[in-house]
Amino acid sequence: MRRAFVYKNRNEENGKLMAVEDSIETFKSQILRQFNITNENIKLFTSNGCEIVDVRVIRDDEKLYISLEGKNVPEQCDTIERLAQSSQTTEDAERYVSDWITLNVGGRHFTTSRSTLLTKEPLSMLARMFADDNNMYLMTPSATDTTGAYLIDRSPEYFEPILNYLRHGDVILDKHVNPKGVMEEAVFYGIDSMIPHLNQLIEESTLASSSNQSLTRMDVVRSIILTPTTSELRYQGVNLAGADLNRLDLRYINFKYACLSKCNLSGANLSHCCLERADLSHANLEGSQLLGVKALCANMEGANLKGCNMEDPAGSRAVMEGVNLKGANLEGSNMAGVNLRVATLKNANLQNCDLRAAVLAGADLECCDLSGSDLHEANLRGANLKDAAFELMLTPLHMSQTIR
């Protein structure tokens, strides 16, 4: 059975320890008899000035105050206005357990419910600070500031994700918040269930920072402007994945081993570039200039090279020996004299291409569509032509071109 301390005035004199009845009206009637009060219109209030309308909200050993309404009100009794203005003793203010708690963490105020601090991590420092035993703290909280907020000398920036985690159970960090800092605070407060999540975020952050960051169009333009025309511009092994480099003049640049996957190079001038072993998979090179390009063993799988020009009037040939053009689209490209020896062109689209004098010896042309292409004097010796399409060819294909 719950008990309550009932007082007639704020000085807490002549109080009575009473059992809390089942209903508020029965409890009020018992109070009237105990205090010999004839006026039946009374109200009960908690120490913080809130009126009690249901006995279920009364805690065990809670202090209650009587407010009388009517004419014959004893002088020592306080109305709600006086009760709300009354102050508790310093000891009571520090020890009484409130449902809402304000924390001053490093100068920043955070207000939260006591259940938030207790429910998720009942053994944490915050939970032990504000857990109650008969409305008294189990662990003495820290000192308070002038507003009554409990002072904690820690970082507010790293405390906010911890408080949010106690609220909803998810670790959510803004991009400017270092997970290592949050980890230190989680260890300090004893939020053990949060530590595995933070370890994973720290690992992901470390991997992201250690990996090469993709350069942007502005990075490339800036380097082109600052590099003298007499000097070689090298992007060897550089990550340019997904960069938008369309219509840029990229002549004579060294892209050896560079990552240009899914890069937009449409209309760009890549003449005499070194693309040896570069990754151009699924890149867009539609309408680009590839005169005299060196693309030995480059990966151009699934790339779009529609309408490209590889024929150099000066006579230099594009070297694409061993290149991977599996599933690439080269429709309508001018590839006269190009070296595609032992290249992989399986399922590639070579419709209406100019392949005069091209070297395709040993190339894999299985299921390749060569309809409408010009293969005059092209070298196809040893090439795999299984299921290749040759409809509407401009010049007939001679056996000498395909047999060693």
Cα(125)–Cα(160) distance, integer angstroms: 16
Query: Terminus-to-terminus CA distance in the chain, angstroms?
Result: 105
**Per-residue DSSP letter, 396:** P
Query: How do residues 191-216 score in pLDDT, each as one tens digit?
Result: 999 999 999 988 887 766 655 567 88
Strand order in the sheet with 3-7: 16-19, 3-7, 62-68, 42-45
Confidence of residue 120 (pLDDT cuts 50, 70, 90): confident
Query: What average pLDDT does this structure show over 18-24?
Result: 82
pLDDT at 91 over 80: no
Confidence of residue 138 (pLDDT cuts 50, 70, 90): low
Helices (H) and strands (E) in the chain, counts: 9, 7
Query: How do residues 335-385 score in pLDDT, each as one tens digit?
Result: 999 999 999 999 999 999 999 999 999 999 999 999 999 999 999 999 999
pTM score over 0.85: no
pLDDT of residue 106: 92
pLDDT at 16 over 90: no
Residues of the chain above pLDDT 70, percent? 85
Identify which has the larger pLDDT, 303 or 73: 303
3-state secondary structure of 67: strand
pLDDT of residue 1: 65
pLDDT of residue 64: 83
Identify which has the larger pLDDT, 11 or 139: 11
Average pLDDT of the chain? 84
Quickly name the fold that domain 96-210 has: Potassium Channel Kv1.1; Chain A (3.30.710)
Q: How far is CA 78 from CA 43, 67, 122, in A?
A: 11, 6, 39
Cα(273)–Cα(254) distance, integer angstroms: 6
Identify which has the larger pLDDT, 169 or 77: 169
Return residue ranges of the chain for CATH 3.30.710.10.
96-210
CATH number at 214-404: 2.160.20.80
15-19, 97-101, 137-141: least confident range: 137-141
Query: How do residues 219-265 score in pLDDT, each as one tens digit?
Result: 899 999 988 888 889 999 999 999 999 999 999 999 999 999 999 99
Cα(50)–Cα(80) distance, integer angstroms: 9
Burial 77-102 (b: 16+ CB within 10 A, else e): bbeeeebeeeeeeeeeebebbeeebe
Q: How far is CA 129 from CA 137, 233, 332, 381, in A?
A: 7, 63, 76, 84
Q: How far is CA 41 from CA 4, 38, 46, 279, in A?
A: 20, 9, 17, 87
pLDDT of residue 92: 45
List phi, psi (to 5°) of 369.
Answer: -100, 110
Residue whose pair of structure tokens reads 């760009």 in the numeric block: 268
Q: Domain spanning 3-87: which CATH class is it, in words?
A: alpha beta
Query: What average pLDDT does this structure show over 107-132?
Result: 87
Q: Is the separation of the CB atoms in 266 and 286 below 8 Å? A: yes
Query: How do residues 259-294 score in pLDDT, each as one tens digit?
Result: 999 999 999 999 999 999 999 999 999 999 999 999
Confidence of residue 69 (pLDDT cuts 50, 70, 90): low
Residue whose C-alpha is closest to residue 281's, from 298, 266, 303:
303
Confidence of residue 75 (pLDDT cuts 50, 70, 90): very low
List, in sequence order, every residue forming a beta bridge with 30; answer none if it has no partner: none
pLDDT at 313 over 80: yes
User: Which amino acid does the sequence have at 160?
Assistant: E
Phi-psi region of 291 (alpha: psi -120 to 50; beta: other; left: phi over 0): beta
Dihedral angle computed from the Cα positions of residues 341, 346, 351 and 357, in that order, rounded to the nearest 10 degrees = 10
